[in-house]
Structure 1
Amino acid sequence: MLGLKSFHRPTIYALSTPLARSAIGVIRISGSQSSYIFNQLTKSHPKHRITSVRKLISPKSGILLDEALTIFFKGPHSYTGEDLLELHVHGGVAIIKNILNEIKQLHNPDDDILIRYAENGEFSHRSFLNGRFDLTELEGIREMIDAETETQRISSLTSMTGKSKQIFNQWRQELLQNIALLTTVIDFGEDHDIEEISSLFEQVNDNLKKLHTEVHGFLKRVQNAEILLNGIKVTLLGPPNAGKSSLLNTIANKDAAIVSSIAGTTRDAIDIPLDVNGYKVVVGDTAGLRDVNLADEIEVEGIKRAKAKSVESDLVLVTLPTDYSFDDNEFIQHIKHLQSLEGPQIVGILNKEDLVTSEHKNEVISKFQDVFGCPVFTISCKTGSGTNELIDELTHIFQRISNTEKLPPISISDRAKDILINDVVYGIDQFAQFKDDDDIVLATESLRQAVEGIGKITGEAIGIEEILGVVFSSFCIGK
C-alpha cells in the first residue's frame, strides 16, 4: 500500500455536517484510537456495524454531554479502511462544540495517543492510501456531493461506482499488452525476419487505432457532460413587452425577474440558474430588441448585450406577443443571423395567447414559421396554458444538446481529462508518428507515456504525492 500503515497515523476527527442549528450533527472519527475515544465517552466498547444509543459523558468532569446514536466500523471494512466511528449527536451548536472539545482533550502524546482535527479531504485521502478507492472513484464522490441537478448526479455515477476505473484499467492493460509485443521485437529482433517484425508492428498499430477511437469517444461523452455541469445556456430574445420576464418566471416557477407592462423594464442581460426537469439551465433574460433610434443610451447598451448573449447561447427562445407585426427588420435580421451561424438552436414562443382568438393565433403562428422557419409554441404565462408542453419540449432539446438521449452522461475531473488528453491520447498519437518513421524504440516509449498517464488518473503512478494535494484540496473537512 501507499503511505504508512494506519496505526502510524494520528487518529483524526471532524464534524461532517454544517456547524449550525439542526436536527443532528455527525462527528466522524477515523484511526486506531477510534475505539479508545468511544470507550472514553461512553464507558463501553463498540461493536462492528452495530448502531447503539449511548450517553456521551465527559471523561474529565463526568458531566453528561449528549445522548447520541453511535456507529462503529472495524477496519478495513470502513470508508477509510481504518477503524471508523460516527457520533450522531443532537444538532445544537453548543452541544457539537463541547463534544469536539472533549475529543480534542483526549490527545495525549506521552501515552502515544495521537488525536487531531482532520484536514480538508483527509478521510478520503486515507481511503485512497488504504486501497479502498482509487482517485477516479473519490473524485466521483466529490462530484456527487457537488451535484445540483439529477443529470449532474447521474453523470458522477460512472466515476463514483468504479466504472471509469474499469475503463481506464482496461485501456492500461491493452497498452501494456502492445508494449509487450513491441518489447519482444526490441529484445529479440535478431530472431525475427523483417516481414515478421513489420507484421507485428502493423498488428500493434491496428490495436491502437481501435483504442484511439474508443478514447476519443469517451472524451466526447465527457465533453457533452460538461454542459450539464456548467449549465445549458438559454437566452430569451424578443421585442419589449413580449413577456420574456414572465416566461422566465414561468420556467423558474418563481418570481425570478421583474414583470411590468412598461416597455423596456429589463435593461440588462440577467442570468438566472435553474433546474429544469433535472437539467441545469442558465436562462438569460435580456433587454427587448427594437429600433435603437427609439431607445435611450442605457437601453441601447442592453440591446447590444442581448444580441451578444444570444450568439453565445445553446438555445434561443424567440419570444413574441400575439400582436407582433413582423415589421422590425433589424430584429428579424438578427434572428436570421443566428440561424446562419449554425450555433444556437432557435425555438419560437408565441406568448399571451389568451388575448386573441384561435383564428388570429393560427395566422400569427403561420407568419412566425414563414419568417423564421423554426418550431413555434403558443403559451399564456397568465393562465399557464401551453407551459407544460413547452417545458417537456425544452427537456427533449436539452437531451439533444447534451447528447443524453440514448446514453447516460458521464463525467471525470478536469485533472483526469487533462491527463487523458495530454498524456494518454498524446502518447498514442506519438506512437503513430514514430511508427511511420519505423522507430520502434521511440514508438514503444510513447506507449509507456500513455500507460503512465492512466496511472496518474487512477493514482497508480510513481510520485503520486504531488497529485494528491490537487485532488483532495477541494474536499470538505469531514470527507
Structure 2
Amino acid sequence: MNADTIYALSSGSVPAGLAVIRLSGRQSLAALQRLTGAGEQRRRAAKGLPRQAPPPRLAKRVVITDAGGGEVLDEGLALWFPAPASFTGEDVVELHLHGGRAVILAVLEALARCPGLRMAEPGEFTRRAFENGKLDLTAAEGLADLISAETEAQRRQALRQMRGDLGRIYENWRQRLLKALAHLEASIDFSDDDLPEGIADQVCLEVAELDAEIAAHLRDQRRGERLRDGVHLAIIGPPNAGKSSLLNWLARRDAAIVSATAGTTRDVIEAHLDLGGYPAVVSDTAGLREGGDEIEAEGVRRARGRARDADLKLAVLDAQTWPRVDPCTAELIDENSLVAINKSDLAEPPPPLSVNGRPGFAISVRTGAGLNAFLAAIAEEVAARCRITAAPAVTRVRHRQALEDCRQALTRSLRAEAPELAGEDLRLAVRCLGRITGRVDVEDILDVVFKDFCIGK
C-alpha cells in the first residue's frame, strides 16, 4: 500500500449541483474524522475509547468543518470504503458535497492541512487500483475511454473493455502460451526421463493455433480504433461546389466560411459528429484544381493528403457542370467514396448518378433536398467501419503493436531449429501479451496509460 494518502475532486467541473471529493490511503479515515467528528472523537478519547469508524459503504449525513478553526464549510454525505473492498484497493473516503467553487476550494484546503495527505496526480486513483490488482491495464484504459465517450457506440465498447472482456482474451492467450512454454522446457530439461511422447509436436500445434487466433483478431479492419478515435471523413471536390456548405450542414453550425468566391477554403477545417451513435471526424478541404497561387497550392496538397488518409471520402460535385467531372476529383474517387451532386435546385443532374462505380446523390444544401438520404448513406458507411461485433476489438495502437510483436515471436518459434531457441521466442511472445494487460515490464508505459485521466480518477 502506498505511504501517501491522496485526495482530489473526482466529479465534473464546477459549479454543479453535486461534487464528489475522493480520498485514498491509510489516512483517509483519520481525515474524515478530523473534518466531520472532532468533538465526538475527543469525547471518546477522554473516555479511553478508540476512534469509531463509520459503517462501511453506508452514506451518512455529515457536517464538514475546518479542523483548525472549527468553521462549518458545508453539509453533505460521507461514505467509507475500507480496504481492500474499494476502487483502489486501499481505504477510500468519498465526500458528497454541494458543487460550488467556494465550497470545493474550502474543503480541499482543509484536506491539505491534514497530516499525511496530498493532492492526487492525474490518473493516480486508477493507477493505484491497477497496482493493487483491482483491474488490469486494458480495464484501466476502458475506464478512461468510458469517461471520454461521446457516442453510444463508444460507451458500449468502453464499458465492455472496462469490465474485462478484452483483457480476458489476452490473459487466456498468455496462460496458454505459458503452458506451452512449460511443456517445451520440460521436454528440454527432462529429456532423459519417461515423459509422454510428442510433447514438442503438441506445443507446435498449440502455438500455431494461437497464432491463427491472434491473426484473426488483428484482421478487424481497425474497427475498435476507429470507434474510439472516430471515423475520418474528407470532403473533397472542385472549388465552389459547396463543400463548406455541406460541412456546416453536417456540423449544424458555421464551422467553415462560405463564399461564392472560388478558393475560399485554404486549409483543412474539422468538425466532430455523432452519426447514428458512431463518432466521425469530418474535414472540409481546399478545392481541387491545378495552378493557383502558392498558398492555394499548399491547400490543395493538404487536401490530397487528407483524402489519402481518410476512411471515407465525400466527393462534392456541381450539378451545373454534371456529368463532367473534373479529373483532380475523379482520380480520388474509389471504393471508399460517396458522391454528392450539389446545387440540384439550380440544375437537375441527368442519370446515371455515379462516378467510378460509386453511387451519387442529387442534393441541394441550400434547400435541403436529398440531404437526408445522403446523410443516411454516410451513417451506414461509418457504422460498417466500426460496428461492434461479438468479440471485442483492438482499441489502441499499443495493443496492435504488442500483438504483432507476439505473432513475430510465435512465427520464429515455429521455425526454430532448436527447442531452446523456440523456448526463448515463446518467452518473448508471453512478454508481449503481458505488456498489454500489465503483467510484465509495464513501468515504462504506465505514465502513457494513465496520463490521459482527469485528476480525480
TM-score when scaled to structure 2?
A: 0.87
Partner residue in 2 for 1:429? 411
Q: Which of 450, 474, 478 lines up with 2:429 in the alignment?
A: 450
Q: Which of 339, 342, 346 lines up with 1:348 in the alignment?
A: 339
Q: Residues 457 and 307 from structure 1, CA distance in 2 versus in 1: closer, same or farther, beyond 3 angstroms?
A: closer
Partner residue in 2 for 1:110? none
Q: Residues 272 and 471 from structure 1, CA distance in 2 versus in 1: closer, same or farther, beyond 3 angstroms?
A: closer
Q: Specify the code of the residue in structure 2 equivalent to 1:115.
A: L
Partner residue in 1 for 2:45? none
Partner residue in 1 for 2:132? 130
Deviations 1:175-224 (A, max 9, x none): 1222233233213323569xx75x43222212211110111222333833
Q: Specify the code of the residue in structure 1 equivalent to 2:402.
A: I
Aligned residues: 443
3-state secondary structure, aligned to 1:265? coil
Structure 1 regions of 5+ residues with no counterpart?
A: 1-5, 108-113
Partner residue in 2 for 1:386? 370
Q: Residues 466 and 263 from structure 1, CA distance in 2 versus in 1: closer, same or farther, beyond 3 angstroms?
A: closer
Residues 221, 385 of structure 2: 8 Å contact kept:
no
Partner residue in 1 for 2:89? 81
Residues 269, 284 of structure 1: 8 Å contact kept:
yes
Partner residue in 1 for 2:50? none
Residues 155, 408 of structure 1: 8 Å contact kept:
no
Q: Residues 253 and 11 from structure 1, CA distance in 2 versus in 1: closer, same or farther, beyond 3 angstroms?
A: same
Q: Residues 426 and 381 from structure 1, CA distance in 2 versus in 1: closer, same or farther, beyond 3 angstroms?
A: same
- How far did 1:301 drift? 4.2
Residues 320, 349 of structure 1: 8 Å contact kept:
yes
Q: Residues 217 and 154 from structure 1, CA distance in 2 versus in 1: closer, same or farther, beyond 3 angstroms?
A: farther
The separation in 1 between residues aligned to 2:398 and 2:297, in whole angstroms, is 42
3-state secondary structure, aligned to 1:48? coil
The separation in 2 between residues aligned to 1:10 and 1:303, in whole angstroms, is 55
Q: Specify the code of the residue in structure 1 equivalent to 2:311.
A: D
3-state secondary structure, aligned to 1:140? helix
1:69-468 map, 5 Å: 69-107=77-115, 114-191=116-193, 199-221=198-220, 223-290=222-289, 292=291, 295=292, 298-327=295-324, 331=326, 333-339=327-333, 345-356=336-347, 360-361=348-349, 363=350, 365-366=351-352, 368-369=353-354, 372-402=356-386, 404=387, 406-407=389-390, 410-422=393-405, 424-434=406-416, 437=417, 439-461=418-440, 465-468=443-446
- How far did 1:40 drift? 1.9
Residues 241, 263 of structure 1: 8 Å contact kept:
yes
Partner residue in 2 for 1:67? 75
Q: Specify the code of the residue in structure 2 equivalent to 1:214.
A: E
Residues 16, 478 of structure 1: 8 Å contact kept:
yes
Please say if 1:476 is aligned against 2:457. no
Q: Residues 301 and 190 from structure 1, CA distance in 2 versus in 1: closer, same or farther, beyond 3 angstroms?
A: closer
3-state secondary structure, aligned to 2:332? helix
Q: Which deviates the most, 411-420 or 204-213?
A: 411-420
Q: Which deviates the most, 244-253 or 275-284?
A: 275-284
Deviations 1:384-419 (A, max 9, x none): 2322222221111113334x2755763444444433
Identity, in percent, stands at 39
Residues 251, 276 of structure 1: 8 Å contact kept:
no
Q: Specify the code of the residue in structure 2 equivalent to 1:311.
A: R
3-state secondary structure, aligned to 1:389? helix
Partner residue in 2 for 1:23? 17
Residues 225, 395 of structure 2: 8 Å contact kept:
no
Q: Residues 10 and 314 from structure 1, CA distance in 2 versus in 1: closer, same or farther, beyond 3 angstroms?
A: closer
The separation in 1 between residues aligned to 2:391 and 2:317, in whole angstroms, is 35
Q: How big is the alpha-carbon RMSD for the aligned residues of Structure 1 and Structure 2?
A: 2.7
Residues 416, 457 of structure 1: 8 Å contact kept:
yes
Q: Residues 220 and 156 from structure 1, CA distance in 2 versus in 1: closer, same or farther, beyond 3 angstroms?
A: farther
Residues 218, 394 of structure 2: 8 Å contact kept:
no
Q: Residues 413 and 72 from structure 1, CA distance in 2 versus in 1: closer, same or farther, beyond 3 angstroms?
A: farther
Q: Specify the code of the residue in structure 2 equivalent to 1:21.
A: P
Partner residue in 1 for 2:46? none
Q: Residues 52 and 301 from structure 1, CA distance in 2 versus in 1: closer, same or farther, beyond 3 angstroms?
A: same
Residues 288, 329 of structure 2: 8 Å contact kept:
no
- How far did 1:443 drift? 1.0
3-state secondary structure, aligned to 1:264? coil
Deviations 1:244-276 (A, max 9, x none): 111111111222112223333323332333333
Which structure: greater helix fraction?
1
